[in-house]
Amino acid sequence: MPGTHVSRVRSLYRRILQLHRVLPPDLKSLGDQYVKDEFRRHKTVGSDEAQRFLQEWEVYASVLWEQANEYRQNSTERACFGTSLPEEKLNDFRDEQIGQLQELMRETTKPNRQFSITESTKPKF
């Protein structure tokens, strides 16, 4: 049975990283790193927490798969990825998870500025 569990985890992990390929580059990078960190962080959790962890990530993969297919079929429209988090689920989170969620929100809502250009009002003579 433990071999089946490891196989299920690896398969889900690979599937999620493959699904991330349809995301815009900045979201793909952020998502890949988040998935790697979360799967690493949950390597040694108990059986009950591991089950819940896998279920939630399977739901994520399923939603992302549907959104990716919708995006491919309607490629003229702007991509829309993600879903709202119901308040009842948010209430189940530990303080550490709320902190991670806030950090993730900050990262995903940052402006996409690679360069900071400021213009001087003084003429250069």
Residue 62 within a domain: yes
* pLDDT of res. 112: 62
* pLDDT of res. 116: 47
Residue 117 within a domain: no
Model confidence band, residue 113 (pLDDT cutoffs 50, 70, 90): low
Buried b (16+ CB within 10 A) or exposed e, 85-123: eeeeeeeeeeeeeeebeeeeeeeeeeeeeeeeeeeeeee
Q: Contact 27/34 with Cβ under 8 angstroms?
A: no
Residue 113 within a domain: no
Of all helices (H) and strands (E), which one includes residue 60? helix 47-73
Residue 73 within a domain: yes
Q: Which domain holds residue 75?
A: 2-83
Structure confidence by residue, pLDDT tens digits, 23-75: 888 889 989 999 999 999 988 888 898 999 999 999 999 999 999 888 778 76
Residues 97 and 14: their CA atoms lie apart, in Å, by: 23
With a pLDDT cut of 70, the percent of the chain lying above it is 84
Nearest residue to 60 (alpha-carbon basis) of 90, 39, 83: 83
Domain count, the chain: 1
